[in-house]
Structure 1
């Protein structure tokens, strides 16, 4: 199960790519904030889910997924991570598709040994074409975590390690 939080262009592209590569819509949730919250944008998340035929779940509840993909604007990352922090478990992996936010910043807001892997898709991937994703694991991400993330993104792009 993968949960996508945020409806920025990288999140849309990743969802479209995964579904286009054969991932079942039942394996994907789109996180939406509670009615009294504004981050991430509730209407955009609901529109994204509706346009792709996906289910939604409250952000605070959907971080129980094996993979949690962050695709929010950079200025919202800390707030969103603080919100999902209690639900991130030892076996889950947080994937950040947020440019300009270092992995260490996300790791610093999560419990202990939470695995974080940054994946930055290029413009081709964001435009819905085959392109390249650059992968940078955090300090707690073990090789198995990185392999899972690379396998996921390899369905839509060439995956390369950040030099």
Structure 2
């Protein structure tokens, strides 16, 4: 295996995140230099046809690509690493988006010195609005982080954190889309209760959520300031906020995120203990 001949990227795993990254990269720069590796032959053929990229087996992926992006479920990572270990060396960069799997576990299963970067993405990567947070393993340097960041920037924003913060990241941005979907579901139901057609209520809430997100991103103002600007004295908004506070919505949301963090920590410990 000749490391200098390697170039490009192999996406290993053709699930939602794997396909999101594949499609985002192709939209940004075309299919050249990208390979896909998927254990389901039918799914591999589907991705190859849809995106016009070669579908290859794991050995060929490691021979041809320098960057190996592991986009499999956490429960499948050990079996993948066992097969991958015989094909990789220090000339590769392994980027893992397997939730809750620490870099130490990945490094222990691979040959010594292989650089590993751990990433926590989220599902809005499917629409190029993802939030990906990455951490370096013991052998990954600044150039490796730069390369991983450039890949993930194809599907949204990227931040770097120490790996010790990844469980908190999982609780906030990894699981975060579900919290917003949950709130939108409740607000749409409220609109229906008030007599609006479901489609209209949905359109109203989705556009409102989108507009509010852009305001928070672009205005530079604190969310409290933005909320107060909508809350006229004695008006409808402040009446609604009073009910949210009365029912403990703020405390419930904070407790929910703490529970997600605790579960992420627990899953990480279980994965280490199961080795």
TM-score norm. by structure 1 comes to: 0.87
Q: Work out whether 1:4 is the aligned partner of 2:11.
A: yes
Give 1:97 deviation, angstroms.
1.1
Cα deviation code 1:59-107 (max 9, x no counterpart): 1221131100111121111111111212212121011111122221111
User: In 1, Cα distance between the equivalents of 2:93 and 2:21?
Assistant: 16
Structure 2 gaps of 5+ residues are 1-7, 166-275
Residue 124 (structure 2) aligns with: 124
Partner residue, 2:88: 88
Instruction: Report the secondary structure of 2:128's partner residue.
Output: coil
The aligned counterpart of 1:77 is: 77
Aligned pair count reads 154
1:63 match: secondary structure: helix
Taking CA–CA contacts closer than 8 Å with sequence separation of 6 or more, which of the two structures ends up with the larger relative contact order? Answer: 1
Structure 1 unaligned residues grouped into runs of 5+: 33-39
C-alpha separation in 1, matches of 2:83 and 2:128: 33
The whole-number CA distance in structure 2 between the counterparts of 1:70 and 1:51 is: 20
Tell me, yes or no, if structure 1 residue 19 matches structure 2 residue 18: no
1:114/1:140 contact within 8 Å kept: yes
Secondary structure of 1:14 counterpart: helix
For the aligned residues, what is the CA RMSD? Answer: 1.5
Residue correspondence of structure 1 range 44-123 to structure 2 within 5 A: 44-64=43-63, 65-123=65-123
2: CA distance between counterparts of 1:56 and 1:122?
A: 25
Higher helix share: 2
- Comparing both structures, which one devotes a greater share of its residues to strand? 1
TM-score of the pair, normalised by structure 2: 0.53
